Amino acid sequence: QVQLVQSGAEVKKPGASVKVSCKASGYTFTSYYLHWVRQAPGQGLEWMGIINPSGGSTTYAQKLRGRVTMTRDTSASTVYMDLSSLRSEDTAMYYCARGGKEMATSLVDYWGQGTLVTVSS
């Protein structure tokens, strides 16, 4: 069965960076795009970006460009989300989620369990 398993909770100081991992299993890793979505406490969902695990190409939300980097390790079926220059507003639950086989689709069918990132001095 399809599973996305994320790394554990993180506590970071303002200005630091955080790297969250998402290990995929149960399907062909390179055949489906992967999204990152975050949710601040009590707030709505915010789309962060998407990565094509096959070639590694990425598209990021304009708001986060320059601070977010998404990468993948095909040998480990794992994608990574690196967010730098952290501020208190980055405190949120971070989710990875499987997209479709094409870039242009709204299909996002499997979600990781979420990783809580807390930014506090």
Partner 1 sequence: QSALTQPASVSGSPGQSITISCAGTSSDVGRYNFVSWYQQHPGKAPKLMIYDVNNRPSGVSNRFSGSKSGNTASLAISGLQAEDEADYYCSSYTTSSTRVFGGGTKLTVL
The answer to the question of residue 59 lying near partner 1 (CB under 8 A) is yes
- Please select the residue that binds partner 1; options are 45, 56, 82, 88, rule is CB under 8 A: 45
Burial 69-101 (b: 16+ CB within 10 A, else e): bbebeeeebbbbbebeebeeebbbbbbbbbbee
Of the candidates 77, 96, 98, 94, the one whose C-alpha atom is nearest the C-alpha of residue 86 is: 94
The answer to the question of residue 108 lying near partner 1 (CB under 8 A) is yes
The answer to the question of residue 53 lying near partner 1 (CB under 8 A) is no
Total residues binding partner 1 (CB under 8 A): 25
Binding stretches for partner 1 (CB under 8 A)? 35, 37, 44-47, 49-50, 59-62, 95, 97, 103-109, 111-114
